[in-house]
Amino acid sequence: MANIKKITASEIINSRGYPTIFARLILSDDHEINVSVPSLEGTENDLVIELRDQDESRYNGRGVLKAVSYINDLLGPKLQGVSPTKQIEIDNWLITADGTKNKSKLGLNTLLAISYLIAKAASYELKLPLFKYINSLFEKLFPTGSSLDKLPSPIFTLLMGGKHGQVDLDFKEFQILPSSSFSYSRSYQVGVDLYHLIRELYKFNFNFNLDVVEAIKETVTKKGLVYGRDIFLGVDFGASSYLTNNRYFIKDKQQSVPVDEYLNFLDQSLIKKYSPLIISDPLGHDDWHGWKKLNSLISKEIYLVGDLLIGSNKERLEKVIGEKNCSAVTIRPSQVGTITETLGLINIAKKNQLSCLIGSDFAETDDSFIADFSVGAGADFVNFGPPVHGENVAKYNRLLEIEREINIKP
């Protein structure tokens, strides 16, 4: 059995042009494992803390040299000679070593890099594909009898609005979901085709959020597919970004509106007219009353997803369960810190009949770990962003490989 020989880390640049952690683990048989971790956007509720250098002379204070030094000089040396198959023990040790509720001592990113490394090294040592190792770890922690006979349903982002978007609109992401009757490979192909076709047809000429929704419906038809049967609509609203003083401001309304009027707009102009399958964060992340009211109004066939509402936080997840605020949740390892903690959140969600969406994060790398994780954890849906750019397609392409590995026939 090979043990950990050395763990090192260094600073690389992520998809948003800022530093993140690249880490390497060498086993005693000289096999090397590499990972690179995503970065947070910096949410308004600050539930977890990435360790950043705060040195304004480098990368606007967003360097990660301190986190790198913690891995090289503090944590890595203490793991020399340890078996990588001790994932649970190592993750618990990392949590204890940090000792804070929000990972502020060692940093969320520091812990995530090591937990990723251990998982990859364990899968190698146990001669298991990474997704099968994650599944075996999940079963060890929470015996549920989950199977590996299908992949999560992919959600593809066609256009992005919000503050980082390609179009000057309020809603964060305009998405499509191919039918669950499609194989993953066919879903991927259709997602890529629609991504390009909507650009050819409309060239970003949109004045209102609902213009994009209508364009998606028309694009699906022009592709020879049936909207609402072959392809379904998804919208990630990111509503906290256009909520101020308990009023929502969107271009589709001439002035800011209170929550009840905004909910009526969603119900009449979007939900009833376009029958979305998934709506994520349609309300502010602290508008608990609005969430509960919307969840009671909409059809149970629609997935109402709490993303920023949850923030991959156990306390907020438990509150959502208690108040029945939504029917599905987005969980991101990059907002949690360790693999075992993340699996714990997924288990809580599943035990309480909440569907699970696994998502990549704001600033990504070409590491495909999360693709294997989503399959091994039995996620219902995945969203790795638009089906373009290296950091996204590395993950979507890995799902193609996994589809072949588990012998799902296209």
For 301-328, write each residue's pLDDT tens digit. 999 999 999 999 999 999 999 999 999 9
Q: Are strands 173-178 and 231-236 parallel, antiparallel or unpaired?
A: antiparallel
Packed helices 314-323 and 339-351: angle between N→C axes, nearest 10 degrees: 0
- Average pLDDT of the chain to the nearest whole number: 94
DSSP secondary structure code for residue 266 in this structure: I
28-86 pLDDT tens trace: 999 999 999 999 875 444 789 999 999 999 999 999 999 999 999 999 999 999 999 99
Residue numbers belonging to the annotated binding site for Mg(2+):
236, 307
DSSP secondary structure code for residue 237 in this structure: -
d(CA 54, CA 82): 33
| Domains and their CATH numbers in the chain | 4-127 (3.30.390.10), 141-407 (3.20.20.120)
Cβ contact 188:403 at 8 Å: no
* DSSP string for residues in 191-222: HHHHHHHHHHHHTT--SSHHHHHHHHHHHHHH
d(CA 285, CA 44): 9
Binning pLDDT at 50, 70 and 90, where does residue 410 land?
A: very low
d(CA 332, CA 319): 18
CB atoms near residue 106 (< 10 Å): 24
238-279 pLDDT tens trace: 999 999 999 999 999 989 999 999 999 999 999 999 999 999
Residue 285, amino acid: H
* DSSP string for residues in 70-91: IIIIIIHHHTTT--TT-HHHHH
Cβ contact 341:92 at 8 Å: no
Average pLDDT over residues 172-191: 97
d(CA 227, CA 114): 43
Binning pLDDT at 50, 70 and 90, where does residue 380 land?
A: very high
Residue numbers belonging to the annotated binding site:
236, 307
* pLDDT reported for residue 44: 44
